[in-house]
Structure 1
Amino acid sequence: MNFPYQVPESKKIRLIINTDAKNEADDQYAIAHALLTPRFNITGIIAAHFGTRIDTSMEESFKEIKKVLQLMDMDNDISVYEGAKAAMTDELTPTSSAGSDLIVREAMKDGELPLYVIFLGPLTDLAAAYLQEPRIADRMTAVWIGGGPYPEGAGEFNLENDIAAANVVFRSPIPLWQVPQNVYKMLRVSLAELAVRVRPHGEIGRYLFEQLVEFNMHPDHSPRWPKGEMWMLGDSPAVSLLIDDQEFDYDMVTAPHITSDMLYEPQEIDRKIRVYRSVDARFTLEDMYAKLELFNASSKKGG
């Protein structure tokens, strides 16, 4: 990439992306956005499962990540790792994988840039990594797109796919930034907007738009979702909050216990997590649009 600016080395971070990329159509936008962000030194992408709807969900996510990398001509630059194939069976038994091993390995490195891991699906691989090696807790920060609104909680897809893992992480001392459902839904875009701002920008822009339109037309969708002419790029705040953490837009909340019906229960523990109450949709989307345009221009110039 030949962007017209650089990021000072002292401002950079290491990043691992954990994504259930083939679940629907917005993870791909967050992956591409992260790959085009100069502040990030991406040390790997982990393919996550997305519940029991598809037995091979993790494998499908793995293939989708590889496809995005190939379209961006980065498949030789970024390693992709398999995460857990399914949710944890209980809160004590880690579902270890190459993905959880990566988190442990990167967290335990000395003398490196700060490590962040973003989770665009369930927290399975983070819980496994922590149970494998609890010392990672003070050597990394996790950002999770998931969970219902506060204070009560509610049914939410990423949480539903591994409640046990979420409880492990919520009890742990791992620094956690949570972007709950009511907040990540602020990233609303129209298909017309994506057609104008994303589709024209090279192979990756065309693919991001077309795969979303294809998913939008799936005949099995309910009348209520998708709505037909809009989408929520709900995973994208995990990227933009690592560019600007919006220091006045979150609360420090005592981590709740999560019930089997995904409600929040108070816990008598000294454990605070960062819970966002808003995200800047304009900043997030415009940064992504600009980087896609700069990347496409740079690719044309290089060719």
Structure 2
Amino acid sequence: MTPPQLRLAVQSRVIVDNDWSGDPDGLVALAHHLLSPTNRVVAVTSSMINPVFGQPEGAVAGAALARELVDLVALPEPPPVHAGSNGPFGDSASVAADAIVAEALRDDELPLLLVCGGPLTNVAQALQQAPEIASRLTLVWIGGALDPAADEYNRDTDPVAAEYVFGTPGLAIWQFPLETYRSCAYSVAELEADLGGSGRVGEWLWTRFTELPLPDFVQLGGVWPLGDSPPVLVTALADESSTYRETPNGRVYTAVDVRLLFADLLARLRLHERRR
């Protein structure tokens, strides 16, 4: 018999955008969004991979991985998955950008949060196609850095897109910069034990880490940050136990409740396995 459950309110619509064929931390975050009953994932979009990793069709490959995860979770109403551009921001449209625009223009009582855990390519293209959507959504971005001299992958993969997005009038941006998302450290041993031991979805996620083709210049130590996960705190949980400072166009998060974030992730994975 299934134990009784609390009735939880849905608090947001979410579009989740990421470079899914890169670091598997994005797929971990996607699984968390999909399994959270307090946000409704309405679309998943896939972005380019930095050319240094040698994936010229990274957006297409990433969309395939995201679809595989969506199918595995098996929601009653699974969100559609759309591939974006395989190159940096320019004048060309994409199916991913079209999907972002369409959802932003759709009337719904729930606020729309566009969660991006990779380069801002698809976001910039959507804003270029339809500038009026800037006031109809909030961008939640894993990227940038408090230190302007720091290298930061998501910003630096498509800096023109980042500049365009941050220069868009009327767009609210909640940012989790490098210094904040790096605090979401997870040991490799914990990843294997926690993800690999948390049902079929967790096992699938752990396999993405073991099968990731790491280039020779990447020297893996004992820690793998799950840096794409913090947006779940604002889409599905709560940020009262995290900290942020206000900016002219939104927020910059300076600390996140890592315990709440990952305890909820593992509980969601295990409950999903128990109930399926």
Instruction: Confirm or deny that 1:169 pairs with 2:162.
Output: no
What's the Cα RMSD here?
2.2
1:18 and 2:17 equivalent? yes
Unaligned runs of 5+ in 2: none
1:211-247 alpha-carbon deviations (Å, 9 max, x no partner): 21333x8462433xx21x2210000002223221347
Larger radius of gyration: 1
Partner residue of 1:98 out of 77, 95, 101 = 95
Decide whether the 8 Å contact of 2:241 with 2:256 is kept in 1: no
Which position in structure 1 is the counterpart of 2:254?
Answer: 277
How far does residue 147 in structure 1 lie from its aligned partner after superposition? 1.0
Partner residue, 1:238:
231
**Equivalent of residue 290 in structure 1, options 260, 267, 270:** 267
C-alpha deviation, 1:280, in angstroms: 1.2
Which aligned pairs between 1:116-127 and structure 2 lie closer than 5 A?
A: 116-127=113-124
Whether the 8 Å CA contact 2:241–2:257 is kept in 1: the answer is no
- Of the three residues 185, 189, 193, the one matched with 2:186 is 189
Q: TM-score, normalised by structure 2?
A: 0.91
Report whether the alignment pairs 1:252 with 2:267.
Answer: no
How far apart are 1:203 and its partner, in Å? 1.6
Match of 2:110 among 113, 119, 125: 113
**1:40 alignment counterpart:** 39
Distance 1:144 1:176 in 2: 7
Separation in 2 of the partners of 1:3 and 1:147? 42
Cα separation, 2, equivalents of 1:133 and 1:2: 46
Spell out, residue by residue over 1:172-200, the C-alpha distance to the aligned partner (whole angstroms, 9 max, x if none).
12110111111101111112222332212
TM-score (norm 1): 0.83
Equivalent position amino acid for 1:244 in 2: A
Partner of 1:202: 199
Match of 1:157 in 2: 153
Give distance in 2, aligned partners of 1:218 and 1:37: 30
Q: Is the 8 A contact 2:49 2:56 kept in 1?
A: no
Query: Is the CA contact (8 Å cut-off) linking 1:3 and 1:294 kept in structure 2?
Result: no
| Local SS of the residue matching 2:201 | helix
- Compared CA separation, residues 248 and 194, structure 1 to 2 (3 A): closer
Letter in 2 for 1:293: R
Partner of 1:232: helix, strand, or coil? Answer: coil
Match of 1:49 in 2: 48
Cα deviation code 1:121-155 (max 9, x no counterpart): 1111111111111111111001011112x142421
CA distance in 1, matches of 2:83, 2:109: 24
Give deviations 1:7-63, integer Å, cap 9, x for gaps: 22xx52111110111112211100100000001111110011112231111011111
Shift of 1:70: 2.6
Q: 3-state DSSP class of the match of 2:255?
A: coil
Secondary structure, aligned partner of 1:277: strand
Q: Distance in 2 between matches of 1:220 and 1:214?
A: 15
Tell me the distance in 2 between the aligned counterparts of 1:105 and 1:115.
12
Q: Is the 8 A contact 2:35 2:73 kept in 1?
A: no
Distance 1:218 1:97, change over 3 A: closer
Match of 1:84 in 2: 85
Q: Pick closer, same or farther for the CA change 1:278–1:22 going to 2, 3 Å.
A: same
Moved more, 188-197 or 39-48: 188-197
Report the residue type matching 1:65 in the other structure: A
Report whether the alignment pairs 1:137 with 2:114.
Answer: no
